[in-house]
Amino acid sequence: MKRQYEQEIALLKRRLNRETKARKLAERMLDDYSQQAFLANETLRKAVATVEEKQLEIEFFVKSTEESTSAESHLTLVESLLELCATFTDASYAACFLSKDGNLTSTPTIIRNKENRVSQLDVTNVLPLSTTHLLSAWCIQEFIPSNNGREPSWLVYCNFHYAENVDGWLVMLIDSELIDEEKLHALDAHIAQLRHSLDKLNNDKLRKLEMKVIDDLKGQLSTARKQLVVTDRMASLGVLASGVAHEINNPLAFISANNKYLKRALVPAIEGLKKLVVALDGSVFAKLVESNHLLKLEETIIEVLQDNTEGIDRLSKISDSLRTFVHSSVDEHTVIDLNKVVKDVLKVAAFSKKYTKDVSVQTLESPALVNANSREIEQVLLNIVINALHATENHGDVSMAVKDENYAFSIEVKDSGIGIPKENLEKIFSPFYTTKGVGEGTGLGLAISKSIIDAHDGVLKVESTENVGTCFSILLPKASEKQNMGVIQ
């Protein structure tokens, strides 16, 4: 029995040893597995943290790019990107400073300032505002605010060219023991992107300005070309007008003289014929005269001769207008009162068939003295007034006013008539341009008026709105201050 118990005990001990070894092996394997699992978890945690940081960086760059491409102004771009930087670095203070020649140009734009820890003076004492070149990277400096005794933080700043001769500074305060180097690389890329975006904005602005200047120059060139063409035409027209006026005057003189002779000869002849018929009443001669209705020709002949006279007068006026257009006389200038000229013109205009309404007149209490040719100024005014009366033939009023314009006197002729279309305003001073019907206008009136006023060192201008009315203004230098007319022009 004893031996049997000893064998069973030995067997149990062997089993216990095997189980002890197995348990220890399992514990070692469990420890190894736990350690590997821990290491794997740590690696995974670090990988997740790295991915999250990379995701933040990617989101930072995406948002930064979006802001850079969508910003419409310098300040909007800088503020939005500074906010992104402050969020990315969890900065407790973020601001933008603008400087010129080492001095601040305005109050800084502060995006963040937790607990008002940082004052403007704290920052400006640190920033190298006199630096004109761009920093190659963000500068990092230990910083202790003057208004509290907290642990030091890191002041991070970098500069950029904001606009012409104006530099900008992005400044942030980061509360941490260490600065993440990866974030610094991201900030370096960000400041480069900001600089590029600002350069693009400045270049776009410069291009727009250049395009505006180019468009203005093109407009001026086009105007100059038009003026050159007009000047060339006017020169040719001057030679032509001079020749036409001369050629018209010669035969016109013969026609006029012959027409006057016919009028003087025919009218008495018809009167004599009437008396002869009465004296020889019942005779063959008297009957012959009556059967051919010769006595009734008197009225017709008189009408024809009168029409001839009016036609000759019109041709004569056209000829005179052409000569005036070619050479507006600046001789015989005397000191005249525009108040009197306006009243005299109104009396002459009253004889016009277009004068069917009263024209309101406003003159100065004191004399409006200018050095001018009275006849020519009256001619200009009369032409403008007649045009105004024509424009208000169906509806509207006409007014005239003499005004004191500092170095000059002006005469305004206003009407509330049909107005002048915008596209025609540039043409109204061109020779032979007219909107009137055939036989109603030569198209020389305003062209001649313009040349007359120019010869008087004056200004003739017009403002008009279709279906509202027109205002012609004549400015003439005062008799004693003609040299100052450049100011008015």
Write the pLDDT tens digit of every residue in 52-70. 666 666 665 566 666 656 6
| pLDDT on residue 471 | 93
Rounded to the nearest 5 degrees, what angle is found at the Cα of 444, between the Cα atoms of 441 and 446? 100
Q: What Å distances lie between residue 225 and 93, 215, 448, 454, CA to CA?
A: 61, 15, 22, 20
Does this model's pTM top 0.95?
no
| Residue at 445: amino acid letter | G
> Per-residue confidence at 207, pLDDT binned at 50, 70, 90?
low
Q: Residue 230 class from Cβ within 10 Å (0-12 exposed, 13-18 middle, 19+ buried)?
A: middle
Q: What confidence score (pLDDT) does residue 487 get?
A: 36
Q: Are 161 and 169 in contact (CB under 8 A)?
A: no
What does the domain layout of the chain look like in residue ranges?
71-179, 234-325, 331-488
- Round to whole Å and give the CA distance between 156 and 141: 7
Name the β-bridge partners of 154.
142, 174
For residue 484, what pLDDT band results from cuts at 50, 70 and 90?
very low
Calpha distance 88→112 (Å, rounded)? 13
Q: What is the third-level CATH fold of 71-179?
A: Beta-Lactamase (3.30.450)
Measure the CA dihedral 260/265/269/270, to 10°.
-10
pLDDT at 97 over 80: yes
CATH 3.30.565.10 is the classification of domain 331-488: yes
C-alpha angle with apex 416: 410 to 418, nearest 5 degrees? 120
